[in-house]
Structure 1
Amino acid sequence: MEIKIGVRSVHRELVVETELSADEIEEELRKALASDKGVFSLTDTTGRRVVIPVASLGFVEIGEDEVRPVGFGGTL
């Protein structure tokens, strides 16, 4: 699943590919936001960990769970 994270005062968004479901990501985000000095962290598909203080979060965009076909062809 692709996650886009906007960080305040940073012009580029962070893009993270993770194996977590949308519900799992949302639950982690809710836990992080519940604390004033919390951090939101995700581990990507290569094992790299991204840690962002919740005070710096601008937005979190969670991609779709389903895989959509790419290209011009019809169904297989």
Structure 2
Amino acid sequence: MEVKIGVQHAPREISIESAQTAEEVEKAVADALSGTAALLTLEDEHGRKVIIPADRLAYIEIGEPATRRVGFGAAL
């Protein structure tokens, strides 16, 4: 699923493809914003972690899970 993260004072948003569910991402964001965690930590599909200070978050956009199409019919 695609997750877009807006960071204060940064000209571009951070966009990652995450294997985490929408509920897991929401819980991580809620924990960061409530003060339970000082950092928002998300993991992409390749196991790389993105760590952002919670006080710098501007917005989070959680997309729908992406289905991967394989083969010649992928362009349909």
TM-score computed with the length of structure 1 as normaliser: 0.81
Check conservation: 1:37, 1:55, Cα contact below 8 A. Answer: no
Unaligned runs of 5+ in 1: none
2:64 is aligned to: 64
| Structure having the larger proportion of residues in helix | 2
Percent of residue pairs bearing the same amino acid type: 38
Gaps of 5+ in 2: none
TM-score (norm 2): 0.81
CA RMSD after TM alignment? 2.1
Specify the alignment match of 2:55 in structure 1.
Answer: 55
Letter in 1 for 2:40: F
Contact 1:6 1:60 in 2 (8 A): yes
